[in-house]
Chain A
Amino acid sequence: SAVISQKPSRDICQRGTSLTIQCQVDSQVTMMFWYRQQPGQSLTLIATANQGSEATYESGFVIDKFPISRPNLTFSTLTVSNMSPEDSSIYLCSVDWPEAFFGQGTRLTVV
């Protein structure tokens, strides 16, 4: 199974600021995924990140708000920009190989 390290594990941020979340995988993977879980809700896919190309965003998510980097096959970052309290969620990165595994998540609170 893949080991996924995500950091920070939690943060409290002021509105209007940005936070970058890092995701490191212990093996090379083609695709990495970023999900959001709002309080008491299920998980929603934000975007798919392939190495060497721009991320593909799901409906309702835009690059200006959630820029993603994928510099190599083991690492990705998600930035939550110009945060508001509505961005308070758990953000999780995931890989699809050999199975769908998830990082520990980043619990973000925006005040």
Chain B
Amino acid sequence: ELKVEQNPLFLSMQEGKNYTIYCNYSTTSDRLYWYRQDPGKSLESLFVLLSNGAVKQEGRLMASLDTKARLSTLHITAAVHDLSATYFCAPHLNTDKLIFGTGTRLQVFP
């Protein structure tokens, strides 16, 4: 059975701190997406990682992909309140489907 596990499920962190969200998946994938979702909103695409060793950075967020370990990470640097949201990883299967992780709800406080 295909599984996509994120941890932690909930993350409360202080502004200025660093933290990493982990995404483990159980089957072969040709690319992996990270999305952000604000309450009551749709999904905002953050990153698409296309190959093993891929690393992408945008502002305070950096995502990486290790296809051999079937692991992706989303690293948060010097968190700010505006980053408070739920983050989802989603491996893309060769059947063109996306399978979503459980989500990580991030709350950044002063």
- A residues contacting B by CB (< 8 A) are 31, 33, 41-45, 48, 90, 92, 94, 96, 99-105, 107
Contact = CB atoms under 8 A, between A and B. Distances in A.
What DSSP secondary structure best describes chain A's contact surface?
strand
Contacts of B35: 102
Contacts, number: 47
A20 B102 CA distance: 27
B68 interface: no
A101 B45 contact: yes
A42 B97 contact: no
Contacts of B92: 96, 100
Given A42-B88, A100-B90, A107 B100 contact: no
A107 B97 CA distance: 22
Nearest to A10: B40
